[in-house]
């Protein structure tokens, strides 16, 4: 039976992902996960993890930054130690961009824009294009690249729809429990919500829990339209069931892209300062992608040309970021 390496819960066969912790399951709790800094959604923990990796003299540090600001000092320490820092998924804002080697991520603004376009077209298809539409948003961690981009992108479509009203936007911090609390507040404060935008799948599950608890109908066959982002495995199942109307995929291939970047650096090749994955995919209705696979991007070791490369991965959580090519 598979287990979650974080919460230690056991799952039935056929389940590959822990929704609560957002990690890939393992066959045994004895399995090594590698050098992963579990920051528990706190930037100060990420900073500490980076400093720990510097002391360990790893070859590379892969950072999935919780927020975009506040990195100058610790990245300067990594540069001083001669350790390249690769930004994965989320970017940072620093005075000196030589403090990191490369950023590899998704076009979050485009994802938000596509979500707005989908909603506009969906409402038109349902004959509701002229109706007043009330929306709420469960935002991710404030100042994170995903939160900023998805908010900005959706706003581009929102401002063109005179009959759409954004009632309120509040952070659910990308966490299911927090999102449930915020959604409960939304439902108690605003009696006529038509759309809830959840800036990641964990928050969509929290919103669904709150709506179930308060007897609200939602999803494909309900009153409240649910839009989500990331398209993790459990969320795709929710789309298939009609609980989530549409889900917009984050880059599922960051692991291999980071691996490719490390191999280029090892070979002495130049790498792009910024690489954006430009193929956001929308999953809606019954277009559930069968056989999709996502594995956890973790830290550890990889062997390249007979050299063992040590690297540290610093996510905001032990989070699923796509298929990885590293071997432990």
Per-residue pLDDT tens over the stretch 62-88: 888 888 899 999 999 999 999 999 998
The residue assigned the tokens 């819960």 is 9
| Predicted local distance difference test score (pLDDT) of residue 233 | 82
| Gap between the Cα atoms of 194 and 92, Å rounded | 34
Asked if residue 11 is part of any domain, the answer here is no
| Gap between the Cα atoms of 216 and 69, Å rounded | 38
| Predicted local distance difference test score (pLDDT) of residue 172 | 96
Q: Following CA atoms 53, 57, 63, 66 in sequence, which dihedral angle do they give, to the nearest 10 degrees?
A: 30
H-helix segments, 144-296: 145-158, 176-189, 201-213, 233-241, 254-266
Q: What letter would DSSP give residue 220? A: G
Question: What is the span of the domain harbouring residue 147?
Answer: 108-249
The residue assigned the tokens 């409960």 is 184
Mark whether 166 and 219 lie in a shared domain: yes
Instruction: Summarize the confidence of residues 206-211 as an average pLDDT.
Output: 98
Q: What is the pTM of this model?
A: 0.69
Contact 23/318 with Cβ under 8 angstroms?
A: yes
For 197, phi then psi, to 5°, come to -100, 120
Q: What letter would DSSP give residue 69? A: S
Residue 301: which pLDDT band, with cuts at 50, 70 and 90? very low
Asked if residue 327 is part of any domain, the answer here is no
Could you read off the pLDDT of 24-70 as tens digits, one per residue?
Answer: 677 765 443 345 545 667 788 889 888 988 998 888 888 888 888 99
Mark whether 244 and 165 lie in a shared domain: yes
CATH number of the domain bearing residue 229:
3.40.50.2300
Instruction: Summarize the confidence of residues 299-321 as an average pLDDT.
Output: 41
Map residue 36 onto helix, strand or coil: strand
The alpha-carbon radius of gyration of the chain (Å, integer) is 20
Mark whether 123 and 198 lie in a shared domain: yes
Mark whether 121 and 85 lie in a shared domain: no
Asked if residue 155 is part of any domain, the answer here is yes
Tell me the angle at which helices 108-125 and 145-158 cross, rounded to the nearest 10 degrees.
40
């Amino acid at each position: 039976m598979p287990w979650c390496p974080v919460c230690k819960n056991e799952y039935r066969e056929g389940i590959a992902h822990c929704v609560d912790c957002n990690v890939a399951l393992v066959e045994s709790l004895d399995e090594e996960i590698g050098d992963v800094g579990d920051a528990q959604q706190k930037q100060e923990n990420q900073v500490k993890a980076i400093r720990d990796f510097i002391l360990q003299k790893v070859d590379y540090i892969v950072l999935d930054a919780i927020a975009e600001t506040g990195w100058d000092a610790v990245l300067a320490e990594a540069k001083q130690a001669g350790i390249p820092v690769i930004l994965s998924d989320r970017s940072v804002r620093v005075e000196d961009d030589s403090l990191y080697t490369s950023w590899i991520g998704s076009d979050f603004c485009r994802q938000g824009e596509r979500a707005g376009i989908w909603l506009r077209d969906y409402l038109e298809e349902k004959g509701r294009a002229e109706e007043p539409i009330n929306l709420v948003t469960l935002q991710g961690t404030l100042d994170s690249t995903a939160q900023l981009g998805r908010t900005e992108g959706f706003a581009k479509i929102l401002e063109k729809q005179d009959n759409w009203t954004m009632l309120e936007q509040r952070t659910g911090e990308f966490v299911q429990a927090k999102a449930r609390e915020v959604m409960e507040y939304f439902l108690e404060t605003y009696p006529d919500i038509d759309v809830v935008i959840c800036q990641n799948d964990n928050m969509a599950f929290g919103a669904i829990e709150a709506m179930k608890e308060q007897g609200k109908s939602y999803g494909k066959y309900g009153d409240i339209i649910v839009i989500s982002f990331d398209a993790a495995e459990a969320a795709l199942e929710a789309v298939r069931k009609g609980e989530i109307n549409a889900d917009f995929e984050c880059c599922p291939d960051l692991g291999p892209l980071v691996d490719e970047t490390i191999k280029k650096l090892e070979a002495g090749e130049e790498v792009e300062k910024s690489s954006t994955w430009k193929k956001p995919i929308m999953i809606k209705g019954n277009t559930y992608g069968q056989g999709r696979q996502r594995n956890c991007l973790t830290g550890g070791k990889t062997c390249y040309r007979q050299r063992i490369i040590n690297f540290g991965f610093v996510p905001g959580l032990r989070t699923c970021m796509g298929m990885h090519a590293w071997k432990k």
